[in-house]
């Protein structure tokens, strides 16, 4: 059974720092991996999706990497801003028409 | 752009009552999903649908029912509300044009069972 783990559960960093969020999964035979952002009281917003054949995806100050063999993904946020404060969730899809399995998320707080 | 719309946003139910959580999307997406999110936890899939007339159980389907009579709508029904169903419910959709399309989420329905 696939399990997705995100460590740490919460993280506080000063504004301007670069930071890395971690996601690990137990079954490396994934179809794709997605990073989401969730603001308080809101739904999820998709940030980046990495296909199983890809190593990384970039969008603005965000870079997500995928290492299937080790069962790990990282989300790198450059030059963090207070507006980046949110919960970040990692999710994996195992097969084309299969469900998506979520981690519990990392609550990020950027200190002004 | 409306995207995925969920109603109501908040609801309080008594034990044993029933209700339907509504979800509609205007993006012509084939795939639709219902998740629940409990405090400090990730999302758990309740039911999903790959197209009109087709539904499948997710990880935690007990106590819920769904239907998919149209592409746009995917209502979730609670028949006999229980305190364990207190949660935030999210509906999501994605395009059938390749599962490497991202999911789009609604803003959620916050449900309390007292």
Indicate the pLDDT class of residue A1, thresholds 50, 70 and 90: confident
State pLDDT tens for residues A75-111.
999 999 999 999 999 999 887 666 788 999 999 999 9
Check residues A3 and B102 and name the one with the higher pLDDT.
Answer: A3
Burial class (CB in 10 A: 0-12, 13-18, 19+), A105: buried
Task: Report the mean per-residue pLDDT for chain B.
Answer: 92
Residue among A31, A49, A98, A100 with most chain B CBs within 10 A, to mutate: A100
Torsion angles phi and psi, residue A25, rounded to 5? -140, 150
Q: Which residues does B contribute to its contact with A (CB < 8 Å)?
A: 4, 33, 35, 40-45, 48, 50, 58-59, 90, 92, 99-108
pLDDT at residue B2, rounded to an integer: 74
For residues B97-112, give the mean pLDDT: 84
For chain B, the residue count is: 114
Tell me which residue in B45, B50, B105 faces A43 most closely, judged by beta carbons: B105
pLDDT at residue B14, rounded to an integer: 96
pLDDT at residue B62, rounded to an integer: 96
pLDDT above 70: residue A57: yes
């Amino acid at each position: 059974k696939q399990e997705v783990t995100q460590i740490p559960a919460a993280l506080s960093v000063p504004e301007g720092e670069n930071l890395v969020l971690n996601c690990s999964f137990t079954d490396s035979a994934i179809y794709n991996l997605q990073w989401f952002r969730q603001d308080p009281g809101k739904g999820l917003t998709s940030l980046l999706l990495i296909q199983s054949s890809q190593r990384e995806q970039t969008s603005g100050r965000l870079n997500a990497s995928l290492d299937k063999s080790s069962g790990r993904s990282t989300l790198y946020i450059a030059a963090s801003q207070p507006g980046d404060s949110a919960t970040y969730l990692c999710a994996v899809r195992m097969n084309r028409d299969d469900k998506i399995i979520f981690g519990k998320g990392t609550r990020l707080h950027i200190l002004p | 752009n409306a995207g995925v719309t969920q109603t109501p946003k908040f609801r309080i139910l008594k034990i044993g009552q029933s209700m339907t959580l509504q979800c509609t999307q205007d993006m012509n997406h084939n795939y639709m999903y219902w998740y629940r999110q409990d405090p400090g936890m990730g999302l758990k899939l309740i039911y999903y649908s790959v197209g009109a007339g087709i539904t499948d159980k997710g990880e935690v389907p007990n106590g819920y029912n769904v239907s998919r009579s149209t592409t746009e709508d995917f209502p979730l029904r609670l028949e006999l509300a229980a305190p364990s169903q207190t949660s935030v419910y999210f509906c999501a959709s994605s395009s059938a044009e390749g599962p490497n399309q991202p999911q789009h989420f609604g803003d959620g329905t916050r449900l309390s069972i007292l």
